[in-house]
Chain A
């Protein structure tokens, strides 16, 4: 996961099984939200375990989603309750107000719970293995050949500075989880997630750590809307960490994260058809992504009808297996989701191995080509204007690549 090849993780939702199964080969691994792993333990377990036992040997990791419990959830869902129970986190609101209340015994209990959940995942979540092996078309798969999570992501919280008490708690949780994992599964990596709301704080948080492998998450960093300053701070934090010998994977990200491979980012996770950024405050909310078309030329999602207009005017084109069969407006929801992942996989293949300056030059050429085709296209002006608005972030990304 932290190797030379940029690692493409798909965040797996409970409703995504069919899509994930069909997309085998278009991604490198699965990131299972702790809520899904906890609440739909056997179903999710059966699904990811069969994939891990299949010929593809699809690796997976479980995101503890612990920032869910960094706030008071007014109406917790069953999945929240399940995950809280597995982690052993107290429901008392006092802990949210004052993270210093997490004494070391509680930290170790949470760490042990989470280490056991991960390290014993095959045994506890494998009850429906046979059912999912049949669905995969490989009924002969054996549970014994299924893999445990590739690594254990330690419980973590969002923190904006080194003196933030949530940072200290995250540090203690990581240390305790690492020790518990070492006892249960010697050699199994236990990786920390550095989560912050402030792109400008990421560099100092990362530089305070000695770990070589880390996940990073800047909460609510919408790549298409963020300022040049925010994106530059994010990119520089990754560049500097890479220079120190740290390998980073983004917990959420889109095409801009793919571009950050030019400064050392090793991988990215995203949901199917969305999930390229997430505000931790909104973690309790969930739901399916809207039906949108991923526009490869602008590296963003647009309404399928606009995509269809652009497709008809030959402003956009896509050779993915889904789009070969039909224009955007005829794609069903499932097809739109498939298309988005195929596009990301293609982007990862096409944009690796470049320096940031080379990537900037290529993005300039691509953007000019899109603008030129849009200008010449015989389509109604409001559609042109909307399409142009969807590409407004590209010059900002170019500026960031030149800065970092």
Chain B
């Protein structure tokens, strides 16, 4: 703890870790603050194989993030909470109960504490989500200047 002061600071080293672990690749779409179902998902990824994953970031006190992540699991193939401190055993039990994975960003980099089991998604919801991610990605391409 003490290394990060805001959730946003977690995101960039985390995305680098996703890339280095080939969880996202050249054909993937990565969207920060994806508008979905009346709220924002902190980070959404969509791979070239159309696998959608949601990540909710929280420095500590993971209960709220777990709630959000549990709802993400209704539409995303996998759903994670990413935190800067290892969650309590109670939180880990809750994560298991609602089918949410947990990743802790430590000094040495992110570490997978609990994998997210794949969710079975209604095909209609899935189509809507993929469309939403792709549209959000297009918007960003139009708005952001070239790197």
Contact = CB atoms under 8 A, between A and B. Distances in A.
A84 B70 CA distance: 48
Interface stretch (A12-20, A199-207, A218-226, A305-313): A305-313
B71 A305 contact: yes
A326 B37 CA distance: 14
B74 A329 contact: yes
Nearest to B127: A330
A291 B39 CA distance: 8
A395 interface: no
A330 B38 contact: no
A386 interface: yes
Interface string B93-127: 01001110000000000000000000000101100
A303 B39 contact: yes
B39 A380 contact: no
A380 B98 contact: yes
A382 B73 CA distance: 13
Interface string B61-103: 0000011001100110000000000000000001001110000
A381 B95 CA distance: 12
Secondary structure at the B interface, as helix, strand, loop or mixed, is helix
Nearest to A326: B124
B134 interface: no
B8 interface: no
A304 B67 contact: no
Given A329-B74, A329-B75, A382-B94, A305 B67 contact: no
A291 to B, nearest CB: 3
Contact of A308 (B39, B70, B74, B97): B74
Contact of A330 (B67, B70, B71, B124): B124
Secondary structure at the A interface, as helix, strand, loop or mixed, is helix
B140 interface: no
Nearest to B125: A329
Interface string A318-331: 00000000110110
Interface residues of A, number: 18
Nearest to B39: A303
Contacts of B97: 380-382
A329 B38 CA distance: 10
A126 B39 CA distance: 39
Contacts of A327: 122, 124
A321 to B, nearest CB: 19
Contacts of A380: 70, 97-99
A304 B98 contact: no
A329 B94 CA distance: 23
Interface in A325-383: 326-327, 329-330, 380-383
Interface in A217-272: none
A290 interface: yes
A114 B124 CA distance: 51
B37 A305 contact: yes
B38 A291 contact: yes
B67 A382 contact: yes
B98 to A, nearest CB: 5
A277 interface: no
A41 interface: no
B32 to A, nearest CB: 19
Contacts of B71: 303, 305-306
B67 to A, nearest CB: 6
A292 interface: yes
Contact of A386 (B38, B67, B122, B124): B67
Contacts of A382: 66-67, 70, 94, 97-98
Contacts of B67: 382, 386
B7 to A, nearest CB: 20
Nearest to A292: B38
B95 to A, nearest CB: 11
A290 B38 contact: yes
A74 to B, nearest CB: 28
Residue among B38, B94, B124 with max Cβ neighbours from chain A (10 Å): B38
B70 to A, nearest CB: 6
19 contacts: A291-B38, A303-B38, A303-B71, A304-B37, A305-B74, A305-B75, A306-B71, A308-B74, A309-B74, A329-B37, A329-B128, A330-B125, A380-B70, A381-B97, A382-B66, A382-B67, A382-B94, A382-B98, A383-B70
Q: Which 10 A-B pairs have the closest CB atoms?
A: A291-B38, A305-B71, A304-B37, A380-B98, A290-B38, A305-B37, A305-B74, A330-B124, A329-B125, A382-B98
Given A304-B37, A329-B128, 20 more contacts: A291-B38, A303-B39, A303-B71, A304-B38, A305-B74, A308-B74, A327-B124, A329-B37, A329-B74, A329-B75, A329-B125, A330-B124, A330-B128, A380-B99, A381-B97, A382-B66, A382-B67, A382-B97, A382-B98, A386-B67
